[in-house]
Amino acid sequence: MMGKAQSAEPKLFYTGISLERRIATDHPLRRIKQLVDFDFVRREVGDHYGRRGNPSVDPAVILKLMFLLFYENVKSERTLMRQLPVRLDWLWFCDYDLDAQTPHHSVLSKARRRWGLEVFTGFFTQILQQCIDAGLVDGQTVHIDSSMIDGNASKDKLRPQLRQVAESFYAGLEGQCEATSDPSREDDSDEGSAPPVQRRVHPADPDARLGRKYGKSTLGYKDHRVVDDRCGIVTATVTTAANVNDSDVLIASLWRHEANTRTPSRTVVADKGYGVIKNYRYLHDRGIAACVPHQRRARKKGRFGYEQFRYDKGRDGYICPAGQVLYKRHNAINNQSHCYECPRATCEACAYFEKCVTSEVHGRLVHRNVEASTVEWADRCLSPGYRRRLLSRRRYKAEGSYADAANNHGFKRARWRGLIRMQMQNLMIAAIQNLRKLLRSRPEMPPSATAATIKGLITDFCSIWRLMAGLNPYLNTC
């Protein structure tokens, strides 16, 4: 027969309720609570709290709440704290009971300002070390890539940064005066030059910058990751403003990777945005194989390009498609390249004259950078087949890591403002992604259902005993 209509009648007392029994034995948060030591934060931030005044919320609980913010991809901290009382698994994970008073959302922002970046760096390092101990990190072949992050600010409210623009203008005038007064001074502006001055800033987020990638302008930040080739573990993350060039961050990323893993790199895979001479020189000097393509010189259709001229090291000249030799003529500006030229008369007598020569005065000219040998080493240090394989793996290792972060953890949107807080966000997201891979790699299961049931029965018995003790004074004396 049909049962009665379900109706919820509020009870005065509830007995037999245990969050431990309500959480499934295979719940991910149960395994995370076993694997991750959140209590380390108490030792890290102990000096940031005084000895007098009201006691604060447990720092381990605050770190767990920040973890849930990105693990569950919650929109904001306000939303997180509104959902916390109605999520039994979150309450159990943070060691709260059903009738416990949950903290205000402002507790999280105050803790971030008080703790600083070291706590989040330590949390990321702790998870990474567990991945290394589990054999998920090789450390020798790494992939480097970057991705834009939309800042928590609107591009329509950018304001002119008049003070920095004026300082940059006067500094440029002083530099021109010094160069004019000292003719022997070499111009080294191309090597290690400073990033361009941001002429407009946002009043709410002064650290955000305008950057452009793949034809799209973004006001925000850029995250540079080092992803290990074996299992896709993120071994290092470097956060910069959106207008920082990728090529300026490769060395810092590799240094941080080796510091985190204590393993020297052997092969580096990256896209052509990182393919500049200073990076090739760094990799060459340290014996690291470079799978980093570089931008090719554009050529007009139907014309002979630079790649069709072969350099002959013995004769220090270039061999053109017709077999003629282009010899060194003179040094170019700043002594950064050498110019190789074929005589005009020789070029005019060649059958490829129309496809090769564009000058009306000289023969064919080819410029060669003084460090072109380093670029040639980068192109030939790996076989073409192995090079294609590594570049293919980079697409689903590095780019796949960013896609997973964007789809599951809200990576593409800045929840907080400021460069330091963006570093906290990226470290937390990378640590969570590594932790998920660590959970999938470990076959061991959480405690059995029997143990959980026994623990729940003990909790229920204690609850009933406290209730009876409140009703019977004699039991309270036992």
- Give me the pLDDT at residue 163, please: 46
Exposed e or buried b per residue across 327-363, where buried means at least 16 C-beta atoms within 10 angstroms of its C-beta: eeeeeeeeebbbbbbbeeebbeebebeeebbeeeeeb
- Give me the pLDDT at residue 298, please: 59
pTM over 0.95: no
**Angle, nearest 10°, between helix axes 372-380 and 277-285?**
70
For the beta carbon of residue 31, count every other beta carbon within 10 angstroms: 18
- Give me the pLDDT at residue 2, please: 63
CA angle (298 as vertex; 292, 303 as ends), nearest 5: 130
Distance CA(452)–CA(353), nearest Å, equals 85
Distance CA(311)–CA(318), nearest Å, equals 4
* Residue 273, C-beta contacts closer than 8 angstroms, at least 6 positions apart: 146, 245, 246, 247
User: Is beta strand 200-201 parallel, antiparallel or unpaired with respect to 209-213?
Assistant: unpaired
Which residues are 222's β-sheet partners?
A: 148, 240
Per-10-residue mean pLDDT, the chain, length 478:
63 69 87 91 83 83 94 93 92 88 90 90 95 92 94 73 48 48 35 49 80 80 94 95 91 94 93 90 93 74 73 81 79 66 84 80 78 84 92 92 94 91 95 94 54 52 56 48
- Give me the pLDDT at residue 327, please: 80
- Domains of the chain (ranges, CATH numbers): 19-115+447-476 (no CATH), 137-162+198-295+379-415 (3.30.420.10), 306-363 (no CATH)
Distance CA(167)–CA(397), nearest Å, equals 43
Distance CA(138)–CA(122), nearest Å, equals 21
- Give me the pLDDT at residue 447, please: 46
- Give me the pLDDT at residue 288, please: 94
Cα dihedral across residues 363, 364, 367, 372: positive or negative: negative
Q: How many Cα neighbours within 13 Å face the side chain of 341? A: 13
